[in-house]
Amino acid sequence: MPVQPVDLMLIAPHPDDPEMGMGGTVACLTASGKKVLYVICTNGDKGTSDPNMTPEALTKIREVEQRSAAEILGVKDIIFLGYPDQGLEDTTEFRKRLVRLIRQYRPGIVATTDPYRRYVWHRDHRICGVVTLDAIFPCARDRFAYPDLLAEGLMPHKVKEILCWGSEDPNYCVDISSTFRTKMAAVACHKSQFGNVSAGMIERMMRRAREMAAGQGFELAENFHRVEAPP
């Protein structure tokens, strides 16, 4: 299997999470020539209150929305794993799928949701974060974690850096002052989730971005819990 290296692999539980969690950061990276890959774990088929919507129709809508949003941010490659919304589980099968992708694409950075946010946190977010972290370390690194992957030509890979968005313990800020509007244009693609993005929503998200940037010397930020992966 050919190696297809990327700079950032973003592993998200649902469509729209990449844009909401770190759309400004993604736009900064792609603008500087970095290659970003999205891995979307669920199909988002339960993300509606519309009684006339069906899960099958919503799945198709959300994939189109995600592709449109990614294009605005400069992301060309997306992998949809297709698990049902609210259906992520901490299983060997899910972890192995992520290990396979990490070994195939060999990212320097992996980003995902922070699994350690307390109390009210979507279960898919929590499990996505846990399984991603376990896939990074030790499974993608250790040669015999999944020995059959070696036969596929997928050699061990050590991720250098992990970024977790949605963290209650952020320790790393990215200046998105120049890409906030691009982020919001991408968020606006997710009409099934947000309708027509209002001026009020933009103002709320801008206010939050200002809070994240407080004391940093720039206007708007996204923040993360950053970890240097073990050697």
Residue 41 · residue 81 · CB < 8 Å: yes
**Are residues 132 and 110 in contact, defined by beta-carbon separation less than 8 angstroms?**
yes
174-221 pLDDT tens trace:
999 999 999 999 999 999 999 999 999 999 999 999 999 999 999 999
Distance CA 223, CA 213 (A): 8
Q: Is residue 96 part of a domain?
A: yes
Write out the H or E segment, with its range, that includes residue 211. Answer: helix 199-213
In a domain, 2, yes or no: no
Note if the pTM is more than 0.95: yes
Residue 130 counted as domain residue: yes
Where in the sequence is the domain holding 202, given as residue range(s)? 8-228
Q: Is residue 3 part of a domain?
A: no
- The 10s digit of each residue's pLDDT in 93-122 is 999 999 999 999 999 999 999 999 999 899
For residue 39, the model assigns a pLDDT of: 98
Residue found by looking up tokens 């649902």 in the block: 14
Give Cα separations from 194 to 49, 85, 109, 184, 202 (angstroms): 12, 17, 29, 11, 11
CATH of the domain at 33: 3.40.50.10320
pLDDT tens digit sequence for 59-87: 999 999 999 999 999 999 999 999 999 99
Is 212 domain-assigned? yes
Tell me the C-alpha distance between 116 and 130, whole Å.
8
Q: Considering the domain boundaries, does residue 200 fall inside one? A: yes
Judge whether residue 18 has pLDDT over 70. Answer: yes
- The pLDDT value recorded for residue 229 is 85
- Structurally, the chain folds into a number of domains equal to 1
The tokens for 215 are: 């004391």
* Distance separating alpha carbons of residues 204 and 195, to the nearest angstrom: 16
Q: Please name which of 209, 54, 229 lies closest in space to residue 142, comparing C-alpha atoms.
A: 229
What is the predicted pLDDT for the residue at 2?
A: 53
- Tens-digit pLDDT profile for residues 130-141: 999 999 999 999
Q: Rounded CA gap, 72 and 189, in Å? A: 9
Answer whether residue 131 is part of any domain. yes
Peptide bond into 55 cis (omega under 30): no
Whether 110 maps to a domain, the answer reads yes
Over residues 156-162, mean pLDDT: 97
Model pLDDT, residue 1 = 55
Q: Are strands 109-113 and 8-12 parallel, antiparallel or unpaired?
A: parallel
- Rounded to 5 degrees, φ, ψ at 162 are -125, 135
Measured distance CA(66)–CA(71) in Å, rounded: 9
In angstroms, the first-to-last Cα distance of the chain is: 25
